[in-house]
Amino acid sequence: MADITALVIEDEEDIIALMEAILKREGVAVDSVYATSEGLDMLAKKPYDLVFTDLKQTPDGTVVYNEAVGRGMKAFIVTAGGPEELLTKARDIAGENLIMKPFSPSEIADKVSAYRNELKQKSP
């Protein structure tokens, strides 16, 4: 059984499939949706440990990022770039939690590992 849950919000099927494969290999239970509106609905219904959201959607991924963080979840913005203003906004909001496409499987696995380490540090 997975000890960590994740939500992936991405409009590209191949990226969803890749993220799901990486996360499942890391022992993470994954839900995936194609639109930020669906992602926001999922966040309202179920708490997740990790949230990965694509930047270039409507509303943009920063909305989901802020909602997830506001609910106490660890969130990441995933993007291949975009309009400079939007990319700057994402960098300002997400900082080191901004993942640039193309990403390596190890980059995602490292995020999961870092989260597990955070959990261990919080445990008595």
Torsion sign (Cα): 95, 58, 31, 108: negative
- Tens-place pLDDT, residues 37-47: 999 999 999 99
**Residue keyed to tokens 């955070």:** 118
- Taking the alpha carbons at both ends of the chain, their separation in whole angstroms is 23
**Residue keyed to tokens 């913005």:** 77
pTM for the predicted model, two decimal places: 0.94
pLDDT at 29: 97
CA–CA distance from 89 to each of 38, 96, 102, 112 (Å)? 22, 13, 20, 24
Structural domains in the chain, sorted by start: 4-35+53-122 (3.40.50.2300)
By C-alpha distance, which of 16, 19, 5, 9 is closest to 107?
Answer: 19
C-alpha 100/C-alpha 82 separation (Å) is 11
pLDDT at 82: 79
pLDDT at 2: 64
Structure tokens at 2: 């997975």
